[in-house]
Chain A
């Protein structure tokens, strides 16, 4: 990020920026930067907290009025904001999915695929409601069914049809994985009686308690054993977060 500021400033465009990783900004020394104490992925702080977002934005913009630099300011660590999710043991958060028992005689991988399909079916009405109410979904490329079918086909070793032209299988699997997580999040928060999870609580649930998390781990393992280099890289780094086993 800081490098882009150097290039823009060199071209005559004044810049200010938000910094999430202070050490990198200290090293790159862009003209003006505001370090914020939020977790990666949340440079403006908290969702649905316009006051906090405005404070962050104004603190960064005010640096444009400084007489000289480089400047690296700190947004207050103790500004009444809740601690970031990764700092604390996340609160207990649950989104139980009531699944029917698996059919008799299924292999472990068949049981997983069945559980995955039942999860999708169970969450779909809540996702649809969420979409209707909010008028927005973060699913970037695929519809929920396309996402789950693509990942389930690949995980089970069936022929995998890439649903969008000119997209490699590696890119399609990676985008489907992100869309699957977005589907689970949007469905989960729409359910009555379900408090809004912080990111750590959501990740804990998704990766440890859902069949979807197990499917993505199976996709990762399969990708890592492919001959195609892009699939191997996708499996190694782009499907499952660091630290999730």
Chain B
């Protein structure tokens, strides 16, 4: 469904206008086999702990989500009104697949799940998020994470 040429207007034009940078440098980092990897989720769904600061605008800020968070304590304050939220309202794994990752760790498909995950608010200019995500890279290394799965909304 999410191919621009199949989207109805005015959504198609709206999405075409979102910032979309190009990169000359293409880094490629390899790692151990999947069953040894420690995996963190990086979301752009505007997620955060209940009680944490809501997302207020497209400033590139992010929130820290502890790995032991429960579904009842994770909320979404993304500013956009143009995507479905009823999936998340029924089952947080539709947006933040922490239960699925924990199952994969329990059955040995991946090594482990990170102690911390992170969320930005998508639709933000990527340049505004660069400083934050580079900081997060340091936190991920401190957490011995060697695989990040990036999940949009």
CB distance from A115 to the nearest CB of B (A): 22
User: Given that A46-B87, A178-B81 are contacting pairs, would A16 and B93 also be in contact in the complex, using a CB cutoff of 8 Å?
Assistant: no
**Chain B 46-80: CB-based contact to A (< 8 A → 1; otherwise 0):** 00001000101000000000000001100111011
Q: List the A side residues contacting B90 at CB < 8 Å.
A: 47-48, 189, 196
Docked CA distance A69–B28 (Å): 7
User: Given that A62-B34, A64-B37 are contacting pairs, would A21 and B4 also be in contact in the complex, using a CB cutoff of 8 Å?
Assistant: yes
Docked CA distance A162–B106 (Å): 45
Q: Which of A12, A43, A136, A177 has the most CB of B within 10 A?
A: A43
A114 within 8 Å of B by Cβ?
no
A195 within 8 Å of B by Cβ?
no
A31 within 8 Å of B by Cβ?
yes
B153 within 8 Å of A by Cβ?
yes
8 Å CB contact of B1 from A10, A87, A168: A87
Q: Are B2 and A60 in contact (CB under 8 A)?
A: no
User: Given that A6-B23, A21-B2, A171-B56 are contacting pairs, would A238 and B80 also be in contact in the complex, using a CB cutoff of 8 Å?
Assistant: yes
8 Å CB contact of B34 from A15, A21, A39, A61: A61
Q: Are A182 and B89 in contact (CB under 8 A)?
A: yes
Docked CA distance A174–B81 (Å): 9
Q: Are B137 and A8 in contact (CB under 8 A)?
A: yes
Q: Are B151 and A41 in contact (CB under 8 A)?
A: no
A106 within 8 Å of B by Cβ?
no
Q: Are A14 and B150 in contact (CB under 8 A)?
A: no
Docked CA distance A53–B102 (Å): 13
A231 within 8 Å of B by Cβ?
no
Q: List the B side residues contacting A17 at CB < 8 Å.
A: 149-152
Docked CA distance A50–B15 (Å): 29
Q: Number of B residues whose C-beta is below 8 Å from A?
A: 81
Q: List the B side residues contacting A9 at CB < 8 Å.
A: 27-29
Q: List the A side residues contacting B77 at CB < 8 Å.
A: 140-141, 175, 178
User: Given that A43-B95, A64-B37, A136-B71 are contacting pairs, would A4 and B120 also be in contact in the complex, using a CB cutoff of 8 Å?
Assistant: yes
Q: List the A side residues contacting B137 at CB < 8 Å.
A: 7-8, 11-13
User: Given that A7-B134, A10-B27, A242-B11 are contacting pairs, would A86 and B1 also be in contact in the complex, using a CB cutoff of 8 Å?
Assistant: yes
User: Given that A8-B133, A140-B54, A199-B87 are contacting pairs, would A41 and B81 also be in contact in the complex, using a CB cutoff of 8 Å?
Assistant: no
CB distance from B123 to the nearest CB of A (A): 10
Q: Are B54 and A41 in contact (CB under 8 A)?
A: no
Q: List the A side residues contacting B100 at CB < 8 Å.
A: 44, 50, 53-54, 57
Q: Are B94 and A43 in contact (CB under 8 A)?
A: yes
Q: List the B side residues contacting A191 at CB < 8 Å.
A: none
Residue of A nearest to B50 (CB): A140
Instruction: List which A1-49 residues lie within 8 A (CB) of chain B.
Output: 1-24, 27-31, 36-48
Q: List 22 A-B contacts (CB under 8 A).
A: A2-B150, A3-B130, A4-B44, A6-B25, A8-B150, A11-B137, A11-B138, A15-B150, A40-B82, A40-B83, A41-B95, A42-B94, A53-B100, A57-B100, A61-B37, A62-B34, A64-B31, A86-B1, A177-B81, A178-B76, A197-B86, A242-B82
Interface residues of A (CB under 8 A from B): 1-24, 27-31, 36-48, 50, 53-54, 57-58, 60-62, 64-65, 68-70, 83-87, 135-141, 167-168, 171, 174-175, 177-178, 181-182, 185-186, 189, 196-199, 202, 237-243
